[in-house]
Structure 1
Amino acid sequence: MELIIDNLSKTYANGVRALQNVTLHIPKGMFGLLGPNGAGKSTLMRTISTLQEADTGSILFGNINVLKEKNELRKTLGYLPQQFGVYPKISASALLNHLAVLKGITNKKERKEVVNGLLNKTNLYDVRNQNLGGYSGGMKQRFGIAQALLNNPKLLIVDEPTAGLDPAERNRFYNLLSEIGENTIVILSTHIVDDIKELCTNMAIINQGQVVLKGKPLELIQNIEGKVYQKTIPKNELDIHKKKYKVINEKLFLGKPIIHVLSDKDPKNGFVPINASLEDVYFSQINN
């Protein structure tokens, strides 16, 4: 099964063009949607999730016309939004059981099996009777995945799932999403490049409402291999280098700027060649 997004556009009442003719074909597995804050990622996720309307375009999921058959899509959709609330004084087991009833799992025995299975899958079973208010950020995110999986979805959307997680929790979340992605279309929307690099076999970069690049991460890195150069410069020379070279990334090391430039030939002048990274791919598109 494939998710096909064709020429999707959305302009808000204030004139912001959140999506501009977005076209994507997303196969089974992990698909990364990468872009800066305000790029249109959340608008696209909400539109796919039937939470808001598009102005033009179409979305097909198998035989489902998503924009016209919203309820059909919802039957097979799991969604973890960027921000979601939990009842702090209710246990994970109790809330998940309640949500399972709302999703139509009315048989008590079946519901218990589903709930316990998901608590195990998300490594929350041992703390299932603990109130959600005492959960860490990563534990709450894993609970969010558990509730998104209650209806055994064929399409799972997670929006900025690792923002604010510590490295250990982020790794646990990576492993969980990777396992789910073996049998499901999982769309991972994020501005964190490492999320995509670690997890996704296909990806797209979106900026200012437009898809500016799409493909397989390793192939996109290969496309700029041998074209990325690095140099440490004085702070007062940053603007000069930006005018002279295509600076795609800049960061500080021990207080001094390090710049990466994209060039078809060796720029010399103190630059050294470096291995290209997905971060370089990303910034080459965002900082055009």
Structure 2
Amino acid sequence: MQLIISNLNKTYSNGVQALKDVNLTINQGMFGLLGPNGAGKSSLMRTIATLQEPDSGSILLGEINVLTQKDEVRKTLGYLPQEFGVYPKVDATTLLNHLAVLKGITNASERKSVVEALLQKTNLWDARKKNLGGYSGGMKQRFGIAQALLANPKLIIVDEPTAGLDPAERNRFLNLLSELGENTVVILSTHIVEDVKELCSDMAIFNKGEVLFKGSPDEALNEIVGKIWQKRINKAELSDFKQNFKVISEKLIGGNPIIHVLSDTNPDGTFEAVTGDLEDVYFSKIFANA
């Protein structure tokens, strides 16, 4: 199954153009949508999830017209928004049962089987009778995935799922997402480059409502081969270097910044050539779109 987004536009009443002629074809597997906060990623996710209307354009999920067949989309959609609420005084089993009924799983024995399988899959079985208000951030995210998987969706959207998670919870969550991507279209919307690098075979870089890059991580890396240069400088020099060169990133180490510059040749003869990574690709695209 493919998700095909064509010429999608959205401008809010305050004049902010959140989506600018967005075109994407997303195949089965893990797809990373990478961009800074405020890039328009959530606007795109909400539009795909039938929660808001675009001004123009089209979205097809297989044979389903997402913009006109919303009920059909919702039957096959699993959605984990950036922020989602839970009933803090309700345990996981009870709430999943309730949500399963809303998803149309009305047969009691089937529902019991589905809920128990999801609690096992998301590693929440031992905490199934614990009230959700006592869950850690990672446990709540895994519960969010459990509810998103009710009714065996063909499309799963997760919006900034690892923000605020500790390293162990983040790893558990990413492993779970990776398993899901084997048989489903999974869109991972994030500003964390590592999440995309570790999980996704296809990706897009998104900023100011526009698609700046679409392809595999390897294709992205090929664009910057031989173009990333590194130098350690004094902090007082940073402003001058930013004015004279395409400084795409800076990292303070020992009080002084190490900068990465995008250039076809050694910027001034004093830089060291380094192998660029996906973070360099990301920053170079955002720099060009600034």
Fold shared, TM-score > 0.5 on shorter chain: yes
CA deviation string 1:154-178 (max 9, x = no partner): 0000000000000000000110000
Match of 1:228 in 2: 228
Match of 1:154 in 2: 154
Match of 2:257 in 1: 257
Give me the whole-angstrom Cα distance separating, in 2, the residues matched to 1:209 and 1:251. 27
Number of residue pairs aligned between Structure 1 and Structure 2: 288
Give me the whole-angstrom Cα distance separating, in 2, the residues matched to 1:68 and 1:102. 21
Give me the whole-angstrom Cα distance separating, in 1, the residues matched to 2:219 and 2:210. 21
Code of the aligned partner of 1:27? N
TM-score of the superposed pair, with normalisation by structure 1: 0.98
Match of 1:280 in 2: 280
| Residue 131 of structure 2 is aligned to residue 144 of structure 1 | no
Unaligned runs of 5+ in 2: none
Give me the whole-angstrom Cα distance separating, in 1, the residues matched to 2:43 and 2:168. 29
CA deviation string 1:103-131 (max 9, x = no partner): 11111110010000000000001110111
Give me the whole-angstrom Cα distance separating, in 1, the residues matched to 2:26 and 2:214. 11
Shift of 1:266: 2.1
- Which stretch of structure 1 is more off in the superposition, 114-123 or 270-279? 270-279
TM-score of the superposed pair, with normalisation by structure 2: 0.98
Match of 2:116 in 1: 116
Shift of 1:151: 1.1
Match of 2:56 in 1: 56
Give me the whole-angstrom Cα distance separating, in 1, the residues matched to 2:164 and 2:107. 37
Code of the aligned partner of 2:106? T
Match of 1:238 in 2: 238
Shift of 1:270: 2.8
Shift of 1:32: 0.4
Shift of 1:268: 4.6
Q: C-alpha root-mean-square deviation of aligned residues, in Å?
A: 0.8
Match of 1:188 in 2: 188
Match of 1:35 in 2: 35
Code of the aligned partner of 1:156? I
Give me the whole-angstrom Cα distance separating, in 2, the residues matched to 1:130 and 1:16. 42
Identical aligned pairs, as a percentage?
A: 70
DSSP 3-state at the match of 2:188: strand
DSSP 3-state at the match of 2:223: helix
Give me the whole-angstrom Cα distance separating, in 2, the residues matched to 1:167 and 1:214. 28
Give me the whole-angstrom Cα distance separating, in 1, the residues matched to 2:217 and 2:41. 18
Match of 1:84 in 2: 84
Code of the aligned partner of 1:37? N
Give me the whole-angstrom Cα distance separating, in 1, the residues matched to 2:254 and 2:98. 52
CA deviation string 1:241-272 (max 9, x = no partner): 11221111112111111110011112354311
Shift of 1:102: 1.1
DSSP 3-state at the match of 1:83: coil
